[in-house]
Structure 1
């Protein structure tokens, strides 16, 4: 990971990996998603020798499992180029996104995660919620995951 850099991307800069990794072998070719261009949406990436090798998208949206009074961030479209796997880039993106969510005042992060990669998210503290369902666009089994966030360490609710 010495040559890797965490960067912010535009929505368009995520499209290649979304197409090659997240849509490969599925009936869907859609790589432009609702919310991609909102000011509150963040696209994070890992750059390795001038090439984007991992991506994630973070949208302001509370989990459907919680009431609407919660401030949530939804993780969507996490992908790593198959040739770049095993270098910790997924963990780097996940931890950076969680930190960003916490600093923004979110009290949870959630996602509809592919069932095949649940262990990755559980190892990072996520809880699996509800039963398995098939994503309507990709026909791939998913489960909802949730991570409740403590307040940011530098936030003092008594100040102000």
Structure 2
């Protein structure tokens, strides 16, 4: 398994297949995608998981975190999330957060993330903001 920085365009196919397959490909593209850092997990030269990281003055947000369905449960996503958290901490960022789908709360809790009281709905899916302080 290799984790490396990738081009944003390389994230779109996995984002689309995993998160919003019923929508047009443009639905998974973010207007600020070009401002983020994007990482992929490769297993035997095949990209199996992606995540995008966006920085602000007070922290970093990861978005569009997706692992191919047939590769889920093999630890790729967990390794990618650990990588991003460690890199963010090394870069001096004090906290990391995400908009978590409710059915993924337990996954994020395994990595020390906690639920906030902020939630919203997008595309018929409920989300909650989860956060982890890194210092």
User: Is TM (by shorter chain) over 0.5?
Assistant: yes
From 65, 89, 98, the counterpart of 1:111: 98
- Structure 1 segments, 4+ long, off by >6 Å, are none
1:140 matched to which residue of 2?
A: 125
Specify whether residues 26 and 142 from structure 1 end up closer, same or farther in structure 2 by C-alpha distance, changes over 3 A only. farther
From 1, 9, 12, the counterpart of 1:12: 9
Structure with more of its chain in helix, by fraction: 2
**d(CA) in 1 for partners of 2:26, 2:101:** 17
Structure with more of its chain in strand, by fraction: 2
Taking the TM superposition and a 5 Å limit, the aligned residue runs for 1:46-65 are 46-61=41-56
Per-residue CA shift, 1:15-43, capped at 9, x if unaligned? 001111111246885122122112xx211
1:64 matched to which residue of 2?
A: none
Q: Which structure: larger Rg? A: 1
Q: Does 1:82 align with 2:69?
A: yes
- Please, which runs of 5 or more residues in structure 2 have no aligned partner? none
**d(CA) in 1 for partners of 2:34, 2:40:** 16
Q: Is the CA contact 2:12–2:25 (under 8 Å) kept in the aligned structure 1?
A: no
Match of 2:63, SS?
strand
* TM-score (ref. length: structure 2): 0.92
* Larger deviation, residues 115-124 vs 19-28: 19-28
Q: Is the CA contact 1:71–1:105 (under 8 Å) kept in the aligned structure 2?
A: no
Q: Is the CA contact 1:55–1:79 (under 8 Å) kept in the aligned structure 2?
A: yes
What is the count of residue pairs matched by the alignment? Answer: 135
Match of 1:125, SS?
coil
Q: Is the CA contact 2:62–2:98 (under 8 Å) kept in the aligned structure 1?
A: yes
**d(CA) in 2 for partners of 1:85, 1:134:** 24
CA-CA distance at 1:131 after TM superposition: 4.7
Q: Is the CA contact 1:27–1:139 (under 8 Å) kept in the aligned structure 2?
A: no
**d(CA) in 2 for partners of 1:142, 1:5:** 30
**d(CA) in 2 for partners of 1:132, 1:24:** 23
Q: RMSD of aligned C-alpha atoms?
A: 1.7
